[in-house]
Amino acid sequence: MKEVILKEILKEYEDIRHQEEEALKQRENHIMQAIPEIADMRRALVELMARRSMEIIRNPNSFSQALDDLEQRIQELKRKEKELLVEHGFPPDYLSIHYRCPKCKDTGYTGDLIKEKCSCLVQRLVEKTYQLSDIKELEQQNFDTFDPQVFPDIPLEGSRLTQREYMVQLKNRLMEYVSEFPNNQRKTILFSGKTGLGKTFLLNCMAKAILDKGYTVMRISAYKLFNQLFLSALQDNEQNQFLFNCLFEVDVLIIDDLGTETQRNNFTSEDLFNILNERLIQQKHTFLSTNLGLSEIKERYSDRIASRLFDTSNTMLIKFMGQDIRIRGRS
């Protein structure tokens, strides 16, 4: 998916450059009529720059007084041009191209020999991915807004920790995971536990942090995902192909509420296995949440899926426990 999104964005950059070049031509035509002296300066400037190029060819590796004189005359003409513009009420950069991003000059990349993504391109990738992801609460649900006080400070059954202490430790563990991303040894995370324990909130926290690092994230509910995959089996179109591209190309795929989808014979199990298996082969990250227990997952899906999800060499199994904080909040 990243390649698809990147191609779209670079086309946007190309269109922006074309628009600015056309706008500059219009400004130049206007100025040549409004200030004839600048038209004369421009012709003289073109001549001087041509002479400078010839001088560089004649003396490519040595200092030339003639070249130095030409450089001074070119800079003097440029200075006088800006002064004339200001005298006639125009900004000094009126005859310069106006880049949206001066750092990359609207190309999306910085650097001469080694090209790196400009911060504006990274930000655009993030914005595009936000639109594709089923994520609407990231400004409110992220690691910065994590509030341990919403979790009860009561001991968890079978643990020395309270629910609050456990969630703080879990939050820190997931922040460390994100800091190491994408070089994590285990690429799959499975959140399991009853509703109202913070699974979706922490998934959103991770999604926001990974998006802000410049990677692509797609989050979709299990119900929506498998319903769409079932419909796509009945009809082949461009939208369905794009969904498949997203599922296998996105840096992080988040499947929320696994177990709420409609069971359609073997369709769901086969689709889930193919997604997990292909992303595992490609070393892609996949995060899942479910209200089902581990034994219920094994019973609902195939042994092949259970073997993928419960393989602790590649999967972090995280159990959510305690009181439903939504019920507690309403109380």
Q: Tell me, yes or no, whether 227 and 84 share the same domain.
A: no
- Among 119, 108, 129, smallest CA distance to 2 is for 129
From 54, 87, 103, the end of a domain falls on: 103
Instruction: Report yes or no on 71 lying in a domain.
Output: yes
Instruction: Report yes or no on 126 lying in a domain.
Output: no
Q: Tell me, yes or no, whether 214 and 325 share the same domain.
A: yes
C-alpha 7/C-alpha 3 separation (Å) is 6
Interstrand relation of 252-258 and 217-221 (parallel, antiparallel or unpaired): parallel
Instruction: Report yes or no on 11 lying in a domain.
Output: no
Are 140 and 123 in contact by the 8 Å Cβ rule? The answer is no
Q: Tell me, yes or no, whether 99 and 137 share the same domain.
A: no
Q: What's the domain count of the chain?
A: 2
Q: Tell me, yes or no, whether 203 and 321 share the same domain.
A: yes
Instruction: Report yes or no on 298 lying in a domain.
Output: yes
Q: Tell me, yes or no, whether 279 and 203 share the same domain.
A: yes
Q: What is the CATH number of the domain that holds 317?
A: 3.40.50.300
Q: Tell me, yes or no, whether 157 and 92 share the same domain.
A: no
Q: What's residue 234's pLDDT?
A: 65
Are 165 and 264 in contact by the 8 Å Cβ rule? The answer is no
C-alpha 250/C-alpha 135 separation (Å) is 15
Q: What's residue 247's pLDDT?
A: 83
Q: What's residue 11's pLDDT?
A: 94
Q: What's residue 168's pLDDT?
A: 96
Q: What's residue 182's pLDDT?
A: 94
Q: What's residue 111's pLDDT?
A: 87
Which residues share a beta bridge with 256?
Answer: 221
Q: Tell me, yes or no, whether 140 and 226 share the same domain.
A: yes
Q: Tell me, yes or no, whether 156 and 286 share the same domain.
A: yes
Instruction: Report yes or no on 284 lying in a domain.
Output: yes
- Among 132, 134, 128, smallest CA distance to 255 is for 134
Which tokens is 74 given? 């070119």
252 φ/ψ angles, rounded to the nearest 5 degrees = -130, 125
Q: What's residue 21's pLDDT?
A: 94
Per-residue pLDDT of the chain (331 residues), as tens digits, is 667 788 889 999 999 999 999 999 999 999 988 898 988 888 888 888 888 888 777 777 666 777 778 888 888 888 999 999 999 999 999 999 999 888 899 999 998 888 888 878 877 887 777 666 666 666 788 899 999 999 999 999 888 999 999 999 999 999 999 999 999 999 999 999 999 999 999 999 999 899 888 788 888 889 888 888 887 766 665 555 666 777 888 889 999 999 988 877 677 888 899 999 999 999 999 999 999 988 898 888 888 888 889 999 999 999 999 998 876 554 4
- Among 295, 290, 284, 276, smallest CA distance to 318 is for 290
Q: What's residue 242's pLDDT?
A: 63
CA 269 to chain centre: 30
Structural domain boundaries, residue 290:
133-330
If you search the block for the tokens 């006088």, which residue do you land on? 80
C-alpha 38/C-alpha 41 separation (Å) is 5
